[in-house]
Homo-oligomer: A and B are copies of this chain.
């Protein structure tokens, strides 16, 4: 199938000018009705496959990005990045691989309570966001990764996460508590914290 070169020009101009990755729908509204944007995007992806910048897809969003193998030459462009704590990196990995995942499940997998500044750093970075509430008592919020996360790590979908197939096959994606009695599960910590708080309040009252 040959793709109208004029439409290709338009799509690449739109993507080139955009500050943020664009959805197919955001591109569609600028083009004549009935334009097959997806087909054009696929053609453009092929066209730029071997160039210095390539057309990348993250979720439903498309953007031009420099080719990953040219990082050496672009060293000077490197932006300063906040060093993430190990806790934050692990938490991000858990959200990415186990999503949708509740905070309690994250704590279960890590074996420690989530400290301040873990999920909020990831949310501030725009990598994780709240997902649906789990339909269990307490309706806990789940956390999922965003399309910015995919864009940042150069992934088309979360199925492209490194090692995801292996992890799935190994049964280690089970996010249930391994066993309720293992210490270090969050419930214990919460109870402790609560007790400490209650005690503090009680001593204030007397």
Chain A residues proximal to chain B, CB less than 8 Å: 5, 8-14, 16-18, 30-31, 50-53, 64, 66-67, 70, 73-74, 76-77, 103, 114-120, 123, 129-133, 140-141, 146-147, 154-157, 159-163, 166, 169-172, 175, 177, 197, 200-201
Contacts and interface: CB of A to CB of B under 8 A. Distances in A.
A175 to B, nearest CB: 7
Given A73-B31, A177-B200, A170 B114 contact: yes
Given A70-B13, A160-B141, A103 B52 contact: no
A177 B197 contact: yes
B70 A10 contact: yes
A172 to B, nearest CB: 4
Q: How often does this chain occur in the complex, in copies?
A: 2
A90 to B, nearest CB: 15
B52 A12 contact: yes
A123 to B, nearest CB: 7
**A30, A114, A117 — most chain B CB neighbours (10 Å):** A30
A101 to B, nearest CB: 12
Given A114-B171, A119-B171, A130 B70 contact: no
Contact of A133 (B115, B159, B171, B177): B159
Contacts of A120: 170-172
Interface SS of A by simple majority? mixed
A119 B50 contact: no
Contacts of A177: 197, 200-201
B103 A13 contact: no
A50 to B, nearest CB: 7
A53 B103 contact: no
B31 A166 contact: no
A133 B9 CA distance: 46
A58 to B, nearest CB: 13
Nearest to A146: B154
